[in-house]
Structure 1
Amino acid sequence: MDERPDELKVCASSVGCSTSLFRRIPDSGYADIRVCVVGGGHAAHALMALLPSRGLPTSVFTSFGNEAARIRQGLAEQGSIVADFETHNSPAGVVRGTPVRVTDDPAEAIPDANVILIPLPSFAYVDVLTAIAPHIAPGTFIGATPGQGGFDYIARRILGDAFRRVTIFSIMSMPFNCRITEFGKAVHVQQFEDEYTICAVPQDRTPDAMRVVARLLGKKCLNGGHFLSCTLFPLNANIHPQRMYCVLKNWKPGEVLPRNPLFYEEMDAEAGALMEHTSAEIQELVKLLSTRYGLEMHVPTIYESEYISFPDPSCKTADQLFAKSPGYKGFKCPLKPVDGGWAPDFSNRYFAEDIPYGLCVWKGISELAGIPTPTIDFLLHWAQKQMGREYLLANGRLAGRDTRETSAPRRFGYSSIDDLVL
């Protein structure tokens, strides 16, 4: 009798999963999965509650500041992490979980884990992978969510020979839209996605990674094909810079903005058009990768991606989907309060992550492929000026003085598309 959870049976039958995983996760029982969550941010808090509630032994490694000590203190006072899921989600309501270990020492958390989850922004990949690399056992599954920003080729550089002995995977999109309400104790989950696209390296281990993710999250998983599908998936960098341009395009230094608009519910047609133009440029790159290099690519447009989450046929454009979706209610723009109103915060992650680790990555890959990107170029020129950075030169080449801050392929020594399609 097959006693696996239903979601694993569905996954295995629908994609032809192999009958055995790596030796560190025996097919005889998924209770053998031991997870380490890396980080202490919003999504990490949600995972700290959800994964133990699903019967998965879960450790936490976070070396940022005193996060580990603060989480341990919260657990000592409360006994568990509490995640409050909005009623339209499954699960809904309160979910409690208690990690078995919370530490700032990778040697205490990484060696015993056969699944490592990294729900962190792209700028953290180099430091995190460098810290955990000496402690990763062969056969480990290492997953990032959302896993953009060149996670696979960064991991290849950082892990070296060990890269061949592990499975790298990406969960697209980020499972949660959530916010910590009390650090180390509670998190509110506005949206818990029902479906994920999984990409893995080596690619033939994608079905195995899908089964692992299905056990972790209890949701449907789709095979995304080549890892570049995840790198090019239309997520934050296809949303945040476009919207922020429309909010701030007429702002002048020193000007105080009278109000902070809702990021999604007040999204306008101009932002939607910029999103769809950006998405169209990515689709041209996807076509080239599919036809010239024969890669299996599954990259939806920005409209298609959001329609999966909120299938409302009355919404004909991406901005309409964002404005009406219940998963995006109540989020303000990332402005900072000042006397008399609001001002831009160009150090916010909508700039600090989505430009150098989002648009610059897409620009860098497109440049290697010879694909023009006029909308991405326009947004980069505007954003880098506000940030006081130079990524894109006036001639359109991604060769500015600050490109070393990005995770564009050339930074890591990849000078052709051939280097990325291995």
Structure 2
Amino acid sequence: MITSISVVGAGNCGCAFAADLENRGVRVLLYAHPDHSTNVDAIRKNGFLESIGIVEGRFYPAVSTDMREALQFSNIVIIAVPSYAQDNILSELEKFDLRNHIIIAASGNFFTLVARERIRARYLLETSASPYGSRMVDGKQSEQQLTDSWYGINVFGFKTVMPIGSLPTDIDAELRTDISAIFPGSLQWCRNVIETAFYNFNGVLHPITAIMNAGWIEHTKGDFYFYQEGMTPSVTKIMQAIDNERVAIANEYGARVTSCLKQMNTYYGLNHGSLNEFAKGSTLHSTMKLCPTSMQHRYLVEDLPYVLVPWYELGLKAGKQSPFIRSLILWSSMINNTDYLGAGRNLKAL
């Protein structure tokens, strides 16, 4: 039975983990890198982490900007930072003996394949996505309908099923049970971490919607409903083509993945017949704007280089051309003046 966990990263996902785990009786230390300590500083100043939504209350996680302290607190470590921050975290972890630690990246995006070359942990695991729908709120986001004095985490949903993979793959039943208890929903144990990474649907849902709505994003600074209004029939038609390419690439590597629509219905207990219906009908996604304010948002700067690029490169290695994914990478590279194929998590990086 796991009684304490260190959560590395104090953003949306990390603070949701902290509130949920503390609410379920698990002691949590919430770590933030010294250069990104705004939320940890606020929790320390307030004396607590306040949460609303499906997890309500005031919680009192330990907080720290010292990685040594985080690793001493627990041998179970959740990495809850964006993929583009994982390299900095690995640079910190490299300094320590991790042979007794279990490192879980949520989400991973092939984190374990990169980490295995840099750290030696008891187990490396990664999930396909964050298990929570959550947002840090500082009182300035009108869609939250909160006063200006409120600061905390809004946990507005969670995935009922979460794909996860491990490296090595020989986790016994008892440890699987313990790890499963960390998460708010059940775990779907994948055969390997490559299969897990093909279950990250952010690469299907976010980049194409951002690109097809670039004018609206730049004109309104994100003042529209990204799912409900941005994922129109034409957008979701291309989205489906991208998903078809994802499944085809995954199949080349023996990954038994389902369609984006089927898995999203599974995640949230829904039964929509198309991605367009899901975008309009999922209350969790359609009642909040969830929209980028610029084209430098994580929907592109994370989901392109750390999700679509490795999918595409693995596809090329298997003889799949994947023209829709390639086009999306090239358009995004042009818009953001970044060579995502060269700078992303390509085969050389893996």
TM-score, with length taken from structure 2: 0.88
Distance change (3 Å), C-alpha of 1:388 and 1:43: same
Per-residue CA shift, 1:303-356, capped at 9, x if unaligned?
11111134544x3211211221111133336454xxxxxxxx222111111111
CA distance in structure 2 between the partners assigned to 1:143 and 1:388 by the alignment:
32
Distance change (3 Å), C-alpha of 1:369 and 1:306: same
Partner of 2:288: 331
CA distance in structure 2 between the partners assigned to 1:41 and 1:34 by the alignment:
19
CA distance in structure 2 between the partners assigned to 1:56 and 1:185 by the alignment:
23
**3-state DSSP class of the match of 1:372?**
coil
Aligned match for 2:266, one of 308, 327, 337: 308
Distance change (3 Å), C-alpha of 1:123 and 1:66: closer
Per-residue CA shift, 1:54-83, capped at 9, x if unaligned?
221211221152516x52453443x32122
Partner of 2:143: none
**Aligned: 1:179 with 2:135:** yes
CA distance in structure 1 between the partners assigned to 2:44 and 2:273 by the alignment:
46
Partner of 1:371: 320
CA distance in structure 1 between the partners assigned to 2:184 and 2:329 by the alignment:
38
Partner of 2:244: 280
**3-state DSSP class of the match of 1:44?**
helix
Letter in 2 for 1:129: L
Distance change (3 Å), C-alpha of 1:246 and 1:208: farther
Distance change (3 Å), C-alpha of 1:128 and 1:302: same
**Aligned: 1:80 with 2:18:** no
1:246 positional shift: 2.0
Q: Is the 8 A contact 1:50 1:97 kept in 2?
A: no
**3-state DSSP class of the match of 2:94?**
helix
Aligned match for 2:181, one of 187, 192, 215: 215
Distance change (3 Å), C-alpha of 1:209 and 1:145: farther
**Aligned: 1:41 with 2:19:** no
Partner of 1:204: 170
Per-residue CA shift, 1:91-115, capped at 9, x if unaligned?
x35143211x311111121134211
CA distance in structure 2 between the partners assigned to 1:238 and 1:83 by the alignment:
30
CA distance in structure 2 between the partners assigned to 1:198 and 1:346 by the alignment:
30
Q: Is the 8 A contact 1:126 1:158 kept in 2?
A: no
Q: Is the 8 A contact 1:198 1:210 kept in 2?
A: no
Q: Is the 8 A contact 1:110 1:136 kept in 2?
A: no
**Aligned: 1:194 with 2:160:** yes
**Aligned: 1:239 with 2:205:** yes
Per-residue CA shift, 1:116-142, capped at 9, x if unaligned?
001111111111012023234323110
**3-state DSSP class of the match of 1:383?**
helix
Partner of 1:5: none
Letter in 2 for 1:96: R
**3-state DSSP class of the match of 1:222?**
strand
Partner of 2:40: 71
Letter in 2 for 1:361: P
**3-state DSSP class of the match of 1:409?**
coil
Q: Is the 8 A contact 1:176 1:189 kept in 2?
A: yes
TM-score, with length taken from structure 1: 0.74
**Aligned: 1:408 with 2:349:** no
**3-state DSSP class of the match of 1:126?**
helix
1:41 positional shift: 0.6
Distance change (3 Å), C-alpha of 1:258 and 1:359: closer
Letter in 1 for 2:19: A
**Aligned: 1:105 with 2:66:** yes
Partner of 2:147: none
Aligned match for 2:307, one of 358, 369, 378: 358
**3-state DSSP class of the match of 2:182?**
helix
Distance change (3 Å), C-alpha of 1:322 and 1:256: closer
**Aligned: 1:270 with 2:234:** yes
CA distance in structure 1 between the partners assigned to 2:320 and 2:40 by the alignment:
46
Q: Is the 8 A contact 2:76 2:101 kept in 1?
A: yes
Q: Is the 8 A contact 1:275 1:302 kept in 2?
A: no
Q: Is the 8 A contact 1:80 1:96 kept in 2?
A: yes
Q: Is the 8 A contact 2:159 2:268 kept in 1?
A: no
Per-residue CA shift, 1:348-391, capped at 9, x if unaligned?
11111111112111111112222120110111121111111234
Partner of 1:321: 278
CA distance in structure 2 between the partners assigned to 1:317 and 1:209 by the alignment:
37
Distance change (3 Å), C-alpha of 1:259 and 1:370: closer
1:190 positional shift: 1.6
Distance change (3 Å), C-alpha of 1:47 and 1:126: same
CA distance in structure 2 between the partners assigned to 1:328 and 1:226 by the alignment:
29
Letter in 1 for 2:223: N
* Count of matched residue pairs: 339
Q: Is the 8 A contact 1:123 1:353 kept in 2?
A: yes
